Structure 1
C-alpha cells in the first residue's frame, strides 16, 4: 500500500510541476491542463470533482493553481499528496522568478522578451475563453436556473455598474446557500 501511495505522490509531483512550469497566466490556465491530465488522461478524478475543486480553490485565499493542486493532491493521497502537490506547483515559479530576477535588466530591455510576452497574452486569453465555455457547458447541463443566470448578472453588475467584486461574491454565495437550503428542505438533490 505504501508503494502505491509513493507512486501516486510521484505522479502528483510530476503532473503539478509540469502544469505549473508550462502554464503562464495564472490558475485559470492551470485548470484546463489539470482537467486534461487528471480527468481525461489519467481518469483519477471526475469532471464534476474538478469543477467542485475549482470552485473551492477560487473561494479560498491564495493562488488558484496552488489551491486546486492541493485539493487534487489531498483527494488522491491525503495530507502527503497535498504537500507534494503544493511543492510541485510552487517550485517552477520560484525557480523562474529567481532566474528572471538575476537577469532583470537584460529581460526588461529586451524587445524579443517583450514580443514573446505579448504573444503569450493572446494565448492566455484564448485558454481563458475556452475554460469559460467549458465551465459554462457544465453549468448549463445541470439545468439550474440560478447558476445559469448568475454569470450574466455578475458580468452586468461588475462591468456595467462597477459593483465591487467582494460584494458580488458575497451575494452570489448567499444566493447559492439559500438555493441549497431550499432544495434540501424540499427533499431535492444538492446543486
Structure 2
C-alpha cells in the first residue's frame, strides 16, 4: 500500500507548491513516491481522512470555516497515528499552544518557508512516525510473548493501523452486517 500525505490550505498556489515539493522531493523508506492529496478546507480533508490513511497531514492555520487546529484535532480523533504539522504565516501563541495540546501537532513551519527547512522537518516527522509505529509493533510482540496480548489482538491492532475502522463492524437491525463503499457519498 502506497503511503499518503494530506495537504490542507485555502490558497491554491500554496497547495500546489507544497504538493510539488513533497511529491518530487520525498520518498518512502521503500523508495516509492508518496501519494499527495490536496484539500482546500478542513471539512473536505476530514472526508478524505475517512477514506484514506495518511502518514502526515500538513495544514494551514487560518482558513475559512474551520481553522487548522480544529481540522487537525478532528484528524487526530480519526487517525491518531497520522503525524500533524502546521504551515502558516499566522503565528498566534494561543493557537500554537492549542495546536500542541489539542491537535498534537509536532511541527510549526512559518510562511514563507525555505524549501530545504520544510523538507528536513517533513522527513524528521515521517521518521519519527516510523519509529513510533515500530515501537508499538515490538511492544505488541513482547505482550504476546508474555501472554498479556493474544496474537489475534496484536493482528487486529496491526490491521487497524493500516486501515482505521477496518476492525469495526456495523450491524443492521436484522442482524446482517453493513458494508459501505468508501467512495460512496452518504446523504
Name the TM-score, length of structure 2 as normaliser: 0.28
> Could you say which structure has the larger radius of gyration?
1
Higher fraction of strand = 2
Name the TM-score, length of structure 1 as normaliser: 0.28
Higher fraction of helix = 1
